[in-house]
Structure 1
Amino acid sequence: MIAFPKLQPSKLLERLESPKGPIRMVLDTDTYNEIDDQFAVVYAMKSQAKLKVEAFYAAPFYNERSSGPKDGMEKSYEELRRIAGLMPEMKDIPILRGSEAYLSDFIQPVESAAARDLVERAMASGENDPLYVVSIGAITNVASALMMEPRIVDKIVIVWLGGHSLEWDDTTEFNLKQDYFASKLVLDCGVPLVLVPCMGVTSHLVTTLSEMEDYVKDNGPIGRYLYDTFKECHNDHFAYSRVIWDISTIAFLNDDRWTPSSLVHSPVLSTDFRWSRDTSRHWIRYVKYIHRDSVFRDLFSKLKESDPEK
């Protein structure tokens, strides 16, 4: 593995403190993969009092909605552009293509406009003004940027929706398992990391079509788009709820009281996608619970407040 600078323990702990004031951030997202990334993009843009989004990066994904990582990235790129067409707030924010493949080892990064842009923005960060890198997909773009320029370990804080809770039987989670090398590199390299697990933590973030009808649908074109996206994701909404995982990362940055967390030693990721513990490893911040109602109240309120007709 590439040699990364080692932060002084005091500086690492400082970077893992709850963020205060306006936060510079970029959002790395596999936007077309499911329906939750769209909500996270909108939530970030509706939180401009706290969050200053500088760029969007399209992340790769490969499942039934794509023919491979490159196709998934391209579809995510187009989805970001589609959302931007509905949100005037996104007009001047760059949307960049990310990795066309996953990492194949711990040495060679995957070239992309997104990774290069991340390096440039991170290196321009001041000593007390780190760039928050919010990743809600496979973390290939971010890991590639770290490999391209290891010094950005000292310039960024990663907030990643990845893996399952440390108590879960396995951590075979979609974001994490797609790119083993990228996931392990981010966990091992010592970069300040806020880990937001899926099952057992953000799995609390469920909502229903009824809530979409009451609190989302009538809030302008983007509200209608989110509603339609949610409605079309399932054939039968009777007694059906769906997890909107990705808004957890934005909620953490907005108000960490909604996402209780603690410091833990960075877990070890095995090749069969299980967690193990090693108390000699560096600290990360680990989100261990989500106050579901507070998060959705904030999202729904911001959608309503931002609609000029309300």
Structure 2
Amino acid sequence: MSFSTLPQEELIRRLQPPQGKVSIVLDTDTFNEIDDQFAVIYALQSQDKIQVEACYAAPFFNSLSSGPRDGMEKSYNELKKILSIMGKVESVPVYRGSDSYLSDAGVPVESEAARNLVERAMARGADDPLYVVAIGAITNVASAILMEPAIIGKIVVIWLGGHALHWPDTKEFNLAQDLHASRTVLNCGVPLILMPCMGVASHLQTTLSEVRDYVMDKGEIGRYLYETYKNCHDNHVGYSRVIWDISTIAFLNNDAWLPSDIVHSPILSSDFRWSFDATRHFIRYVRYVNRDKVFQDLFAKLAGK
């Protein structure tokens, strides 16, 4: 499928880090890992910079689900649980996403999340893009683009997907689950801010002790996050865990903590490796994350500061 891409000057303008407050939708496989819970709450607590318009449940398939549909449904329920704890069930709608991955290139998966994204995006003004923060398999977002390619001119996608461009492979969970969807987003020319996992977001490690000291006493949300972290591992001695997904929210809060460059969109091979072509369209690529600044901001936001 061919896409009508933005003129290069407009694309680069859209790829500039946002100034001021932005509206986002959050596409998340919330039950898959513990980092999604942190990211959802971080976004909702960042009202000075972020207005969360809706949440979409993304599919996932691993030991915590019996298939993509089950993973999506569990993520949907986890999102509802988080919003209930935060008293935001009425103000932030949640939509079920794809119940499978793309079966072929150019073939979207029907879902209420993808349809809602199309509707919200098409309602935006030319100079007021909707930021689509994706922290799971990119199926819902790719499906929406395939359903209505005109949204390419209405959105900016921030995706935690793949590994750093210098990494020997990019077989990362979010990216590798749906090759067709990942290629769609990388190839279609949508304004994309790519947040790599290994080599970049992998710096965002924390420990149970740190979560106990700076998160546990922050009301019901703090207790929920503490218990979620505590239960993720049976031995926390000398153990740390990466809270990958908060990187995307931190970029919107202060891009200076996550230095980035304009680069040509990489090519994704069928064996999940990057290759490069200097004739391709541009994306913004995050190359580093200041771990301390991000966690300091997260802990402050949880405290209501």
TM-score (normalizing by structure 2): 0.99
Q: Does 1:61 align with 2:60?
A: yes
Residue aligned with 1:85, SS: helix
Corresponding residue for residue 284 of structure 1: 283
Corresponding residue for residue 178 of structure 1: 177
Which 4+ stretches in 1 moved above 6 angstroms?
A: none
1-side partners of 2:289 and 2:131: how far apart? 20
2-side partners of 1:132 and 1:165: how far apart? 22
1-side partners of 2:191 and 2:56: how far apart? 20
Q: Which runs of 5+ in 1 are unaligned?
A: none
Equivalent position amino acid for 1:223 in 2: G
2-side partners of 1:305 and 1:126: how far apart? 32
Contact persistence 2:80–2:89 (CA under 8 A): no
How far apart are residue 151 of structure 1 and its match? 0.3
Which string of whole-angstrom CA distances, capped at 9 and with x for unpartnered residues, describes residues 158-214 of structure 1? 000000000000000000000000000100000000000000000000000001110
Corresponding residue for residue 46 of structure 1: 45
Corresponding residue for residue 244 of structure 1: 243
Contact persistence 1:45–1:89 (CA under 8 A): no
Residue aligned with 1:305, SS: coil
TM-score (normalizing by structure 1): 0.97
Residue aligned with 2:304, SS: helix
Contact persistence 1:102–1:179 (CA under 8 A): yes
Equivalent position amino acid for 1:172 in 2: K
1-side partners of 2:208 and 2:189: how far apart? 41
2-side partners of 1:25 and 1:158: how far apart? 10
1-side partners of 2:48 and 2:206: how far apart? 25
1:222-237 equivalent positions in 2, closer than 5 A = 222-237=221-236
1:85-104 equivalent positions in 2, closer than 5 A = 85-104=84-103
Aligned residues: 305
Which string of whole-angstrom CA distances, capped at 9 and with x for unpartnered residues, describes residues 1-51 of structure 1? 2x2111011100000001011101000000000100000000000001110
Q: Which runs of 5+ in 2 are unaligned?
A: none
Equivalent position amino acid for 1:140 in 2: T
1:151-190 equivalent positions in 2, closer than 5 A = 151-190=150-189
1-side partners of 2:48 and 2:66: how far apart? 39
1-side partners of 2:51 and 2:286: how far apart? 22
Which string of whole-angstrom CA distances, capped at 9 and with x for unpartnered residues, describes residues 229-266 of structure 1? 00000001001000000000000011000100001100
Contact persistence 1:30–1:37 (CA under 8 A): yes
Q: Does 1:145 align with 2:176?
A: no
Residue aligned with 2:228, SS: helix
Contact persistence 1:58–1:97 (CA under 8 A): yes
Equivalent position amino acid for 1:187 in 2: L
Equivalent position amino acid for 1:290 in 2: V
Contact persistence 1:56–1:94 (CA under 8 A): yes
Q: Does 1:84 align with 2:88?
A: no
Equivalent position amino acid for 1:35 in 2: I
Corresponding residue for residue 271 of structure 1: 270
How far apart are residue 128 of structure 1 and its match? 0.5
Equivalent position amino acid for 2:71 in 1: G
How far apart are residue 91 of structure 1 and its match? 3.2
1-side partners of 2:225 and 2:182: how far apart? 29
How far apart are residue 90 of structure 1 and its match? 4.7
2-side partners of 1:101 and 1:235: how far apart? 32
